[in-house]
Structure 1
């Protein structure tokens, strides 16, 4: 195994040298520095999305919906909606619409993780979300992480997820440090008494059934540190600025309303938010004893001979399938009652 790792790392290094790309070298140096400053992995847990294998697009599995849902059923629901709107808007063929709606009907009744519709395979894909950590906590954005052009604090942007259309290719050249990370994660499995025996066993089994690792596009989020440690706050965002904007909006709008802040709390959060925004690319905001940090979030998906790993039996759902949209006939008529 050690010799295998060395051969693969040597190949990654040779590829980096061959490209002779100064920007790639700077990014790689940034990744090396981050691996030294934040050498540990802080595991958040499983996340779920939807992958698709469409012969018209090629033989590879690609992501249809971003891998960020906390439960498999959320991903099934997103596939339900995707197929319903595809039946509504993307076809005039009653036969094709009937097949799409039959798949929707299955998703309304059963917690299925794979369907084939009109020759296209859809699968709920399971990933793992994690962040790097060091002596000062979770890793913030790196200098080489891409920021949006014309970043705004006032204009809301509809930013597509970089997951959408992402090809799940275990052989992708992601760089030397990322390649080393993929090799290290091949044997990653849950350990320790905080995980039930069934969860640990399924995790070990996955290293055999789905041995290859794909690193998904990096995301960014907000983490809160208090006396109990770090915990995530909010959704996964595509750029550091989008995460900063999310934190600013939360401090000035969302949290005061949801948590029914007192006037003193509103004033404290408004003052902290103003300082945070004025700093431009700040990655931390503090309110009293609570620290908020913009964090770099990484995710992986396991691949086997037949594609991405689906949910495991021990993955938890808080609710089951349900009817999400009005009934539609094969001719496209929608019934609202």
Structure 2
């Protein structure tokens, strides 16, 4: 096994030399520095989303949207809505609408992790969310992480996910360090008393049934120092600036309304947010006795002979039952709100 790892790393190195890409070399050097400063891996938990594959060709699996749901049922409900609205808005063919609504009906009554609809396989896929850590805590963004061309702090803030359309490919690694990470995580399994026994068993089994690793696009999130640990806040963002802006907006708008902060607390948060904004690319913010950091998040999907790993039995523990989400629709597109 060690010789196989060495051969794979050697191939990645040879490819990097062959391409002779200065940007790739800078990214690689940045990754080496980060791995030395933040050598540990902190497991943040599982996320779920939908992947699709063309049934006839059986080729690439692609992400159908963000892998960001906290439970498998949230991902199923999202697919339910997408198929229902596709039946409502995207076709005038009764036969096509009938097939879409048949899939919706399944999702309304069953915790289905895979469906085939109009020649496309839809699968609920499971990802592990990871962050690197070192002596000073979780890893912040790297200098080479991509920033948006327009680093605005005003206007609508709904950045598109980098997940949508992403091809899941366990054979691809963006550089030597990414390849080493994938190889190092092949045997990774949850351990320790904080994980229930069934979670540990499922994790150990997955390392055998789905031994390969496909990496997802890197994301960025808000974390807060709580004692010796860090607590996540808000959604995963596609760039460091999007996460900074999410923190700024939380301090100046969302949290004051959500938590009914006093006038003095609102003023303190507003001052901290403006200092943070003025700094431009700062990745830490202190508001009173609270310390926030923009954190770099990595995610992986395990891969087996039939593709990406679906939810594990122990993932279902926090699920809620399937349910009817939208009104009944006829195959002619008529929606009945009283059914």
Offset from partner CA, 1:137-186 (integer Å, 9 cap, x none): 01100000010012100022442211111111111131100000000011
Aligned pairs for 1:110-259 (under 5 A) are: 110-227=110-227, 229-259=229-259
Asked if 2 retains the 8 angstrom alpha-carbon contact of 1:65 and 1:78, the reply is no
- 1:208 deviates by 1.2
Question: 4+ runs of 1 displaced by more than 3 Å?
Answer: 55-58
SS at match of 2:143: coil
Q: What is the alpha-carbon root mean square deviation over aligned residues?
A: 1.2
SS at match of 2:67: strand
How many angstroms apart in 1 are the aligned matches of 2:331 and 2:237? 38
SS at match of 1:266: helix
Aligned to 2:327: 326
SS at match of 2:148: coil
Q: Which runs of 5+ in 1 are unaligned?
A: none
Offset from partner CA, 1:80-106 (integer Å, 9 cap, x none): 011111111222211111111011011
- 1:264 deviates by 1.3
Offset from partner CA, 1:267-290 (integer Å, 9 cap, x none): 110110010001111101101221
Asked if 1 retains the 8 angstrom alpha-carbon contact of 2:72 and 2:319, the reply is no
SS at match of 1:311: coil
How many angstroms apart in 1 are the aligned matches of 2:78 and 2:44? 22
- Per mean C-alpha deviation after superposition, the further-off stretch among 311-320 and 277-286 is 311-320
1:29 aligns with 2:29: yes
- Per mean C-alpha deviation after superposition, the further-off stretch among 164-173 and 241-250 is 164-173
Aligned pairs for 1:79-118 (under 5 A) are: 79-118=79-118
Offset from partner CA, 1:251-303 (integer Å, 9 cap, x none): 00011111111111111101100100011111011012210001101100011
How many angstroms apart in 1 are the aligned matches of 2:258 and 2:56? 46
Q: TM-score, normalised by structure 1?
A: 0.97
- 1:317 deviates by 2.7
How many angstroms apart in 1 are the aligned matches of 2:195 and 2:255? 32
Offset from partner CA, 1:94-136 (integer Å, 9 cap, x none): 1111111011011111111111111211000001001000110
Offset from partner CA, 1:62-93 (integer Å, 9 cap, x none): 11021111111110011101111111122221
SS at match of 1:171: coil
- Equivalent residues, number: 337
Asked if 1 retains the 8 angstrom alpha-carbon contact of 2:73 and 2:322, the reply is yes
SS at match of 2:73: helix
How many angstroms apart in 2 are the aligned matches of 1:209 and 1:225? 36
Asked if 1 retains the 8 angstrom alpha-carbon contact of 2:327 and 2:335, the reply is yes
SS at match of 1:179: helix
How many angstroms apart in 1 are the aligned matches of 2:224 and 2:157? 24
Distance 1:138 1:301, change over 3 A: same
SS at match of 2:64: strand
- 1:55 deviates by 4.6
Aligned pairs for 1:36-51 (under 5 A) are: 36-51=36-51
Asked if 1 retains the 8 angstrom alpha-carbon contact of 2:116 and 2:122, the reply is yes
How many angstroms apart in 2 are the aligned matches of 1:174 and 1:58? 24
